[in-house]
Amino acid sequence: MFASVASTALVGVETRPVQVEVHLTGATKPGFTIVGLPDTAVREARERVLSALTASTFGVPKGRITVNLSPADLPKAGSAYDLPIALGTLVAMGKIGPAAASVVALGELALDGRVRSVRGGLGAAVVARRLGLPCVLAPDAAGEATRVRGCDVRGAASLTEAAGVALGAVPGTTTPPPPAVTVADGADLAEVRGQLVARRALEVAAAGGHHLLLFGPPGAGKTMLAASLPSLLPPLTEDEALEVALVWGAAGLVRGGSNLPPFRSPHHTATVAAMVGGGSGLPSPGEVSVAHRGVLFLDELGEVPARLLDSLRQPLEDGQITIARQGHSVRFPSRFQLIAATNPCPCGFQGDRLVGCRCTEAAKDRYRSRFSGPLLDRLDMRVRVTRLSLEEMTGPPGEPSADVQPRVAAARSIQAVRGTLNRSLRRQALDDQPYTAAAIDLLAAAVDRLQLSARGWDRVRRVSRTVADLAGLEQIDEDAVAEALGYRAAI
Ligand SMILES: [Zn+2]
178 in a domain, yes or no? no
Check whether residue 16 and residue 89 sit in a common domain. Answer: yes
Q: How confident is the model at residue 264 (pLDDT cuts 50, 70, 90)?
A: very high
117 in a domain, yes or no? yes
Q: How confident is the model at residue 450 (pLDDT cuts 50, 70, 90)?
A: confident
Q: How confident is the model at residue 184 (pLDDT cuts 50, 70, 90)?
A: low
State yes or no: pLDDT of 491 exceeds 80. no
pTM (2 d.p.)? 0.88
CA distances in angstroms from 420 to 207, 291, 407, listed in the order given: 12, 19, 18
Read off the pLDDT of each residue in 232-248 and give the average, rounded to a whole number. 92
Q: Is 444 helix (H, G, I), strand (E, B) or coil?
A: helix
What is the percentage of the chain residues whose pLDDT exceeds 90?
Answer: 62
Check whether residue 151 and residue 264 sit in a common domain. Answer: no
- Determine the pLDDT at residue 1: 87
461 in a domain, yes or no? yes
Check whether residue 392 and residue 255 sit in a common domain. Answer: yes
Q: Which domain holds residue 82?
A: 2-166
Ligand 1 centre and the CA of 275: distance in Å? 29
Q: Is 452 helix (H, G, I), strand (E, B) or coil?
A: coil
For residue 257, give the nearest of 125, 104, 143, 135 by alpha carbon. 143
Q: How confident is the model at residue 107 (pLDDT cuts 50, 70, 90)?
A: very high
Q: How confident is the model at residue 183 (pLDDT cuts 50, 70, 90)?
A: low
State yes or no: pLDDT of 470 exceeds 90. yes
Which ranges of 179-260 does DSSP label H, i.e. alpha helix? 196-208, 222-232, 238-250
Of 395, 416, 437, the domain-final residue: 416
Of 110, 137, 166, the domain-final residue: 166
Average pLDDT, the chain: 90
Check whether residue 6 and residue 36 sit in a common domain. Answer: yes
Check whether residue 124 and residue 271 sit in a common domain. Answer: no
Cβ atoms of 157 and 277 within 8 Å: the answer is: no
Check whether residue 115 and residue 150 sit in a common domain. Answer: yes
Q: Is 201 helix (H, G, I), strand (E, B) or coil?
A: helix
Of the listed ranges 81-85, 102-106, 301-305, 349-353, the least confidently predicted one is 349-353
User: Domain tally for the chain?
Assistant: 3
Ligand 1 centre and the CA of 191: distance in Å? 28
Ligand 1 centre and the CA of 348: distance in Å? 5
State yes or no: pLDDT of 179 exceeds 90. no
Residues with CB under 5 A from ligand 1 (ion): 345, 347, 350, 357, 359
What CATH number is given to the structural domain containing 462? 1.10.8
Ligand 1 centre and the CA of 367: distance in Å? 10
Ligand 1 centre and the CA of 382: distance in Å? 18
Check whether residue 395 and residue 471 sit in a common domain. Answer: no
HSE-CB at 52 with a 13 A cutoff on CA atoms is 30
Ligand 1 centre and the CA of 363: distance in Å? 8
Check whether residue 240 and residue 301 sit in a common domain. Answer: yes
